[in-house]
A and B are shown apart, each in its own frame.
Chain A
């Protein structure tokens, strides 16, 4: 039996526009999403902003009721067996909020330990153990308002582990962390996975998914568009190379010309302050560079590099096809 199952889950939200003549609008966040996550698996959910990643996590953590379809965690229905599901899961949402800032990190843990029904004689011991695990022992008695973003994020993880749940949901846990903080958190996630926990992780960082996850699902506009191991997904672009071109002020017309080239599979643009980084996926490798530069005539071009395709390129190709 899978640890987590989603069957044709649809979730819509209603928003309204206007002040005097209000118009209701339905937004589809999940559109018939079906997934299964195995016991002890570290499963990644990837997708652009608004793809439905957080909504999926919120449905599975009982915080949202699906509009249609069903979701189960350890065989328990998230709508009917709400309390039992809550006892079996821990969850962390990215960002700094969600903690009591005016009390210490230790007090935060003690409070949530009571809410999760830990026996009184175990609370202090368990909190101390988790503070050690996330590296906050030395600062545990300071008020949370003085913690850095990384410390708050680690405290969140400790809070989620208080009752030692078999299933963990981590929604963009490393967003906004400095590289060292993010690496430490990834190491902690890896250790938890080694202990046999089932973990669902959403992230925008492809290298993170590549290095941590057993399998990943790519979703967009609430639909599943790819599912497999990171190697499977990378395999879908193994025939491609990526030419990275640093350009200054590329016009939409130039991009259109580039995309129209027969030797170009896709072009992604990343804005970096006053310059842009073009990632051109092509089966022809460095042989196409001269043709690309010719097409970009009149555009100031800086660094040019050719490399093998990564999971990020597979992701860009998948999402790019839909846009």
Chain B
């Protein structure tokens, strides 16, 4: 347990240092939410039902999702490209623990987009950003981050296993953004898409965050949404476990841990 905590701490620090010097990841976490927040506020600010909190939360989620999607998809491939994957796999620690800890660092880094979105709403546009249910919102934020981390845990082994899957995953940014209702209610989407949305942890994350920040009543009680959020995260982690084992086994059989 102490060893796992040590790995978690050092992996988070390493990931933060690596991401802080990656221009692409900085763009994901800063530039993208900035554009999303600013353009949406300009587009919607004259509507009578405009809620700046909804836009702030939605823009933050878009930044968090982008970085989870890209870093989750590329993290193992990036280690392979840097030549460090063999040293990670060759260490006695579980690769799932190591990559999972690094993705915790990714999630911590993604919080920048939440802060930035709030700054844009409150300072740039001068809106009073008030959270309707602060306590519930905090719990929702924590659970949402867990759910997005769990999504990253599925993406990480999938992204390295098949090149075509990795390519496919990179185009999932906007579809998941729309299907999860980050900025627009999914009621605007065709009815059949709902059955896809409910399978996505980001959907439950957006539902919990929007519901508790705006105070709008949800179709389900917030505790049920939290339960489903946790359930979707647990399902994602459970799915990732055999995938990580499969990735390592296949790489050791096929000799693909290194590029050379």
Contact = CB atoms under 8 A, between A and B. Distances in A.
A43 interface: no
A315 interface: no
Interface string B1-41: 01100110111011001100100000000000000000000
A63 to B, nearest CB: 6
B175 interface: no
Nearest to B3: A117
Interface stretch (A97-105, A250-258, A262-270, A282-290): A97-105
Contact of B14 (A14, A97, A107, A120): A107
B82 A86 contact: no
Contact of B84 (A99, A116, A117, A120): A99
A17 B257 CA distance: 21
Given A91-B90, A102-B21, A110 B10 contact: yes
A112 B17 CA distance: 16
B113 to A, nearest CB: 21
A239 interface: no
A159 interface: yes
B252 A62 contact: yes
Interface string A72-99: 0000000000010011000101010111
Given A62-B90, A86-B91, A114 B21 contact: no
Contact of A111 (B2, B10, B257, B260): B10
A65 interface: yes
A98 B255 CA distance: 17
A321 to B, nearest CB: 29
A163 B209 CA distance: 45
Interface string B218-260: 0000000000000000000000000000000100111101101
Given A61-B90, A98-B84, A102-B18, A114 B10 contact: yes
Contacts of A120: 2, 6
B250 to A, nearest CB: 10
Interface string B177-221: 000000000000000000000000000000000000000000000
Given A64-B252, A65-B252, A103-B14, A97 B92 contact: no
B199 to A, nearest CB: 34
A116 B87 contact: no
A115 B255 contact: no
B89 interface: yes
Chain B CB count within 10 A is highest, among A98, A101, A159, for A98
Nearest to B14: A111
Nearest to B17: A103
A143 to B, nearest CB: 9
Q: Name which of B9, B84, B87 has the most chain A CB atoms within 10 A of its CB.
A: B87
A98 B257 CA distance: 12
Interface in A38-91: 55, 58, 61-65, 83, 86-87, 91
Given A111-B10, A120-B2, A95 B83 contact: yes
B73 to A, nearest CB: 20
B87 A112 contact: yes
Given A63-B257, A87-B92, A115 B21 contact: no
Contacts of B249: 65
A211 B107 CA distance: 51
Interface string A101-141: 11100010011101111001000000000000000000000
A112 B82 contact: no
Contacts of A86: 90-92
Contact of B90 (A63, A65, A95, A117): A63
A20 interface: no
B3 to A, nearest CB: 5
B252 A116 contact: no
Contact of A116 (B9, B13, B92): B92
A159 to B, nearest CB: 7
A13 interface: yes
Contacts of B90: 61-63, 86, 91
A311 B83 CA distance: 33
Contacts of B257: 63
A111 B86 CA distance: 15
B86 A115 contact: no
B42 to A, nearest CB: 37
A86 B248 CA distance: 14
A97 B82 contact: yes
Given A65-B253, A115-B98, A93 B86 contact: yes
Contacts of A114: 3, 6-7, 9-11, 93
Contacts of A65: 249, 252-253
9 shortest A-B CB distances, which residue pairs?
A: A97-B83, A98-B83, A115-B91, A86-B92, A114-B10, A114-B6, A115-B93, A65-B252, A87-B92
5 contacts: A13-B255, A98-B87, A101-B82, A102-B18, A107-B17
Interface of B: 2-3, 6-7, 9-11, 13-14, 17-18, 21, 82-84, 86-93, 98, 249, 252-255, 257-258, 260
Interface of A: 13-14, 55, 58, 61-65, 83, 86-87, 91, 93, 95, 97-103, 107, 110-112, 114-117, 120, 159
